Amino acid sequence: MQAFKVRVVKDSLVFCAGHFITYSGSCEPLHGHNYRAAVTLEGPLGESEFVFNFVTLKRMMKAVCDRLDHRMLLPTDNPHLDIRADAVGYTVRYQHKTYVFPREDVVQLPIPNTTAEHIAVWIADQLAVDLAADGADHLTALEVEIEETPGQSAVFRRELKRVAR
């Protein structure tokens, strides 16, 4: 069987977001990145003689990036954070630190930490849903790369379950 890859890396696939990471009993200072995202799809050629339509893939990826753009990313599955929500915002506590963020500025992500690796997994999850809804059942793999700063990125790859034709 032949397999092909398509990759999309565009200047429009970026998002600026704030975050912090907890690790080894510490919490790094609140900061942000101008993230860059890329996506690779693998599989045989589909009925239209391409792996997946570039225009559709760019649109899907841009929509996911736009959900994160200019937001504070909060990892809701982080056992070290106490996150409380009310009508106007979120209060986040880690040991002696307390942060308060306006509700409209926050995106809650069901991940354990807002590392580039976990953000890549979350984006892959979103794209997998979009691809399935688009009927892309011939794809064999999905790969998402998240670059925090130039030369510093994380890549997540997921094998996709193909539907027999």
Per-residue pLDDT tens digits for 3-43:
799 999 999 999 999 999 999 889 999 999 999 999 999 99
Of 13, 47, 27, 4, the closest CA to residue 123 belongs to: 13
For residue 163 the two structure tokens come to 């539907």
Please compute the mean of the pLDDT values over residues 100-118 and round it to a whole number.
Answer: 98
Domains annotated for the chain, with CATH where assigned, are 4-70+114-159 (3.30.479.10)
Catalytic residues, by residue number, are: 27, 70, 148
pLDDT of residue 17: 98
Q: Is the pLDDT of residue 149 over 70?
A: yes
The rounded mean pLDDT for the chain is: 94
Per-residue pLDDT tens digits for 42-82:
999 877 888 899 999 999 999 999 999 999 999 999 999 99
pLDDT of residue 61: 97
Separation of CA 132 from chain center: 17
pLDDT of residue 46: 75
- Ramachandran region of residue 43, left (φ > 0), alpha (ψ -120 to 50) or beta? left
Q: Environment class of residue 108 by beta-carbon count within 10 Å: exposed (0-12), middle (13-18) or buried (19+)?
A: middle
Quickly state the pLDDT bin for 162 (edges 50, 70, 90). Answer: low
Q: What percent of the chain has pLDDT over 70?
A: 97
